[in-house]
């Protein structure tokens, strides 16, 4: 028998979700069977797969040792990395990072180790704020993602409670994200709220936008304000009212104003000749519009953070 004690970063999870992370060698089907047949108990009582765990709970597992025999966590790899992070803000619960264009937030299907989340883990490990050997189910995690070739603010949670709360705030639209982008042409209005419908094609990793509803599409709302015009192009501040895949890039292209440097939705060959290696898009400002100041992250209510203008590389063409 093995006993797992629920720590602070494990609490608040369903039993089955915790076990998939804490006992990686245990097949899903066997896990559910073992819960039903009382080979897995909580506090020596019959357990339910969906019951929520609290700090201090003890899980008794009457299962073979081989299911626990997974490769040890490699702390040495985290110690060897020299973290390269541009930190916008940090406290005991979260970090705000300025992700540079070209940097992956997570590993892609091809693998690779030079990712933002790996550098965050290494940074926190070397500070003594994260010890993977002592964690059963939690690792520092990102609350939002940004495309590889887009730059901007990414939120990282340093503990499980911060991750849960921030994900809920994002889900409930209690954060506001503002982007700067450079697009082709002059906009028809100085400011406008665009609406439309977007459908993602996972096979091609592209999206399609239309003005009218169509099967499978989700509604999108994109608000822009013209900040400057130079050389027949426009610099926009864009607020994402909805946050869909490639929303800004595809919506702007749909109305005839693709982003400069955009290889999927724009005229990339001409733009590359002018030095645009990435799409001209930067998530430069973030505001926490929390409805109240209670809870683990309540102190962030009303706070706003932004990237220095000199870090938004394409502003050079609108100076």
Task: Report, at the CATH architecture level, how domain 75-171 is classified.
Answer: 2-Layer Sandwich (3.30)
Element at 208 (helix H, strand E): strand 206-210
> Does residue 125 have a pLDDT over 90?
yes
Fold agreement (75-171, 175-318): yes
Average pLDDT score over residue span 150-171: 96
Q: What are the structural domain ranges in the chain?
A: 2-68, 75-171, 175-318
Instruction: Please give the CATH superfamily to which domain 2-68 belongs.
Output: RNA-binding S4 domain (3.10.290.10)
pLDDT attached to residue 69: 65
Q: What's the pLDDT band for 76 if we cut at 50, 70, 90?
A: confident
- The CA distance from 301 to 288, in Å, is 6
Per-residue pLDDT tens over the stretch 15-25: 999 999 889 88
> Does residue 181 have a pLDDT over 90?
yes
Q: What's the pLDDT band for 77 if we cut at 50, 70, 90?
A: confident
pLDDT attached to residue 210: 97
pLDDT attached to residue 268: 80
> Does residue 179 have a pLDDT over 90?
yes
Instruction: Please give the CATH superfamily to which domain 175-318 belongs.
Output: Pseudouridine synthase (3.30.2350.10)
Per-residue pLDDT tens over the stretch 248-283: 999 999 999 999 999 999 988 888 888 899 999 999
- The CA distance from 250 to 263, in Å, is 11
Torsion over CA: 213, 168, 223, 104 (sign):
negative
- In order of 88, 117, 177, 244, 303, the CA distances from 97 in angstroms are 5, 10, 14, 21, 16
């Amino acid at each position: 028998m093995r006993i797992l004690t629920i720590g602070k970063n494990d609490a608040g999870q369903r039993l089955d979700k915790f076990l998939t992370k804490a006992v990686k060698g245990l097949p899903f089907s066997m896990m559910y069977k073992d819960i039903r047949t009382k080979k897995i108990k909580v506090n020596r009582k019959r357990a339910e797969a969906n019951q929520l765990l609290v700090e201090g709970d003890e899980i008794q597992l009457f299962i073979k040792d081989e299911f626990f025999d997974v490769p040890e966590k490699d702390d040495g790899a985290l110690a060897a990395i020299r973290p390269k992070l541009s930190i916008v803000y940090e406290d005991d619960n979260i970090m705000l990072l300025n992700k540079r264009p070209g940097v992956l937030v997570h590993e892609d299907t091809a693998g690779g180790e030079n990712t933002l989340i790996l550098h965050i883990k290494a940074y926190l490990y070397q500070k003594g704020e994260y010890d993977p050997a002592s964690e059963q189910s939690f690792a520092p995690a990102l609350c939002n993602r940004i495309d590889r070739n887009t730059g901007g603010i990414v939120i990282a949670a340093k503990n499980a409670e911060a991750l849960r709360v921030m994900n809920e705030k994002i889900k409930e639209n209690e954060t506001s994200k503002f982007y700067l982008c450079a697009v082709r042409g002059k906009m028809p209005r100085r400011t406008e709220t665009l609406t439309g419908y977007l459908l993602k094609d996972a096979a091609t990793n592209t999206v399609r936008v239309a003005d009218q509803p169509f099967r499978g599409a989700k509604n999108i709302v994109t608000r822009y304000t013209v900040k400057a015009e130079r050389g027949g192009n426009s610099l926009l501040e864009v607020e994402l009212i909805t946050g869909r895949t490639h929303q800004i890039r595809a919506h702007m292209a749909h109305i005839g104003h693709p982003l400069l440097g955009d290889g999927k939705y724009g005229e990339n060959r001409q733009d590359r000749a002018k030095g645009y290696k990435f799409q001209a898009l930067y998530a430069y400002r973030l505001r926490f519009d929390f409805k109240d100041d209670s809870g683990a992250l309540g102190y962030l209510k009303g706070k706003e953070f932004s990237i220095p203008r000199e870090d938004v590389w394409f502003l050079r063409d609108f100076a």
